[in-house]
Structure 1
Amino acid sequence: MPTPPPLSIAPEKVFFVIAKARQFDAKDVVTDPDPGSNASDDGMRAVLEDHADDPVRLELSRFIRGLNVDEQIDLVALAWMGRGDGDLDSWDELRGEAARAHNNRTASYLLGMPLLAGHLEDAMATCGFDEEDFET
């Protein structure tokens, strides 16, 4: 089992982001921005579209913004590691680069990253963390 890097963010928080990012990634582009009809008449299709006021996006964005700076830095470094930009041996370099790049747009940056859930999941597996160990 690999020795995980010293994380400032609790694994439970990362797995929460993964779960929410999966819901967010499942969204489709908006096909009719102003349908002018009743959602129940449309079969509730709009809930599967990525609207700016999407509750999953808002919840995930608020959660990430609510993390402290060190937690946000770790989250970005984990996403980069899962994306293949580094591995456990280069954790310190990855985290250092994430710290240098940190700004107030971390949530927007991460939500704009294609396959965020998969990248974080891969990174957590690389670190030896299994989501099942943290489910309640």
Structure 2
Amino acid sequence: MTLGRLLLVMLGGMLGTAARLGIGFLVPDAAGIPLATLAVNVLGALLIGVLAARLPFDGLRGRWKDMRVFLATGILGGFTTYSAFAVGTVELWASAPPAAAAYAALILGLGIAAAALGMRLGRPRSRARASR
């Protein structure tokens, strides 16, 4: 990784983390369930799926690779949060183990589904299919 790409990740991470905090202020927990964490992780998985389909890392060069690093690793890496998901689940487990298990299954299932949907939505369409 070059110094320039490291700086892009740092800048993107700062922006993504600030966006996550903003959503945390707007979306309160409900009955101890961290809804903001659920929202940012599912939305982030969807957007990373779109980027993965639109900008596959192995085929990128130059500015496009920089853009992928800035958006996916930086912004969306800072926006999504595995650690808050893990801590929120453990905290919920202390008072409501069934709810914690359901929350963990829900966030993982929705995250995987969102990433798959994002990759499907982001997949470039051929001109022949797009004109139908």
TM-score interval for Structure 1 and Structure 2 normalised by the shorter chain: 0.3 to 0.5
TM-score normalised to structure 2 length: 0.35
Larger fraction in helix: 2
